Chains A and B, each alone.
Chain A
Amino acid sequence: AQTVTQSQPEMSVQEAETVTLSCTYDTSENNYYLFWYKQPPSRQMILVIRQEAYKQQNATENRFSVNFQKAAKSFSLKISDSQLGDTAMYFCALTNAGKSTFGDGTTLTVKP
């Protein structure tokens, strides 16, 4: 069985500041992929960033980057220059062999 844990139910950050959301996981597999999804109040699920477990280099997408520590089974998301539109629930997910496991989510509020 695979598990994903997001230990921060809620976080807040000032506009233009940087925030890091935590995620830890557990799996017995070697070949898996990690994702961060954003779910704004509209409830639409939007892919933010993904990381292949076999790649050591951390993924980056504009203001979003990850800190992937495979040995520690940690996959945190850093949002730089936070914008009001980043306010949303963020889900960490692990996918292996077509099965995806999601964390319980972190509600991020960006304050003006």
Chain B
Amino acid sequence: DSGVTQTPKHLITATGQRVTLRCSPRSGDLSVYWYQQSLDQGLQFLIQYYNGEERAKGNILERFSAQQFPDLHSELNLSSLELGDSALYFCASSSGYTSTDTQYFGPGTRLTVL
């Protein structure tokens, strides 16, 4: 158990809908990272937040947005969902924001878009 929690574990929705994935980092960690793992694209870095501020951005679509709240939990919002958005979404956390910091991954949220 990494100490990172993600809810829900599974989510099934329809195309065009909007969903919110939630992540609680390990106690004391200030950084949260979001990743998407789909069958045909491997693991893709989406975005990083540190202490409420966006720090780094990867291949995140404009239909996706994220934020980190004062209590350090983070939410990833996915809108206008398409079939291709079906994937496992991981959240990871680390104590700092530099590349030296070990990222601890949550168990993931499996999103299925029908």
Q: Give A residues with C-beta under 8 Å from B.
A: 31-33, 37, 42-47, 50, 52, 91, 93, 95-105
Q: Chain A's interface: helix, strand, loop or mixed, by majority?
A: strand
Known contacts A101-B45, A104-B42; A50/B58 CB under 8 A? no
* A95 contacts across to B, CB distance below 8 A: 99
| Interface flag for B43 (CB, 8 Å) | yes
Residue pair B99, A44 in contact (C-beta under 8 Å): no
Interface string of B1-18 (1 = CB under 8 A from A): 010000000000000000
Residue pair B99, A31 in contact (C-beta under 8 Å): yes
Q: Which range contains the number of B residues in contact with the other chain?
A: 20 to 34
Q: Chain B's interface: helix, strand, loop or mixed, by majority?
A: strand
- A sample of 17 more A-B contacts (CB under 8 A), given A47-B104, A99-B56, A100-B35, is A31-B99, A32-B99, A33-B99, A33-B100, A42-B107, A44-B2, A45-B90, A47-B103, A96-B99, A97-B99, A98-B56, A100-B33, A100-B58, A100-B103, A101-B45, A102-B44, A105-B42
Residue pair A44, B107 in contact (C-beta under 8 Å): yes
| Interface flag for B48 (CB, 8 Å) | yes
